[in-house]
Amino acid sequence: MSQPVTHAPDNCLFCKIAAGQIPSRKVYEDDEIFAFHDIHPWAPVHFLMIPKVHIASMAQAGAEHAALLGRMMVLAPQLALAQGCNPYPAGGFRIVTNTGAEGGQEVHHLHIHVMGGPRPWLKG
Ligand code: 5GP
Ligand code: ZN
């Protein structure tokens, strides 16, 4: 099992986005969480939620991250509605966290994709 990685590598794209060093279209920010629109959206609404602390993937999430990840999951539906997703049950949204190479993860800073809006979507 890999070691937890919570320190920020110098070259982490999403650490830089969270710090404002690389521009993004911000959806939400608080002390612990940053959310921004995906640069290549699959759906009419497609944003990413990240912890500001560097966690490489869900495979490195530990008990110390449980409250933070819980906050992200509870916040996701509120942001989804605010970004234009239609209400449940006719509307809704999809939450995806790709993890590792076989899970399709490209950026190794834990992130939650939140996708929604009327079908069809480009993917997913
Ligand atoms: P993954 O494949 O790791 O789950 O998803 C990474 C996501 O980050 C992709 O959907 C990709 O479009 C998005 N992405 C990659 N680089 C950037 C960037 O510089 N800015 C933004 N806003 N999104 C990015
Ligand atoms: Zn990072």
For residue 10, pLDDT over 90 is answered with no
- Give the position, in ligand 1's atom list, of the atom nearest the Cα of 108: 3
Q: Could you give the residue ranges of the DSSP H alpha helices within the chain? A: 13-18, 66-82
CA distance 24 to 85: 20
CA distance 20 to 117: 27
Residue pair 48/114 in contact by the 8 Å Cβ criterion = yes
Determine what percent of the chain is predicted with pLDDT higher than 70: 95
Dist. CA 61 → ligand 2 center (Å)? 13
Q: Tokens 């404002």 sit at which residue?
A: 20
- CA-closest candidate to residue 87, choices 112, 111, 113, 118: 118
Q: What is the CATH number of domain 9-116?
A: 3.30.428.10
Q: What is the pLDDT of residue 8?
A: 75
Dist. CA 56 → ligand 2 center (Å)? 7
- pTM (predicted TM-score): 0.95
Q: Per residue in 69-120, pLDDT tens? A: 999 999 999 999 999 999 999 999 999 999 999 999 999 999 999 999 999 9
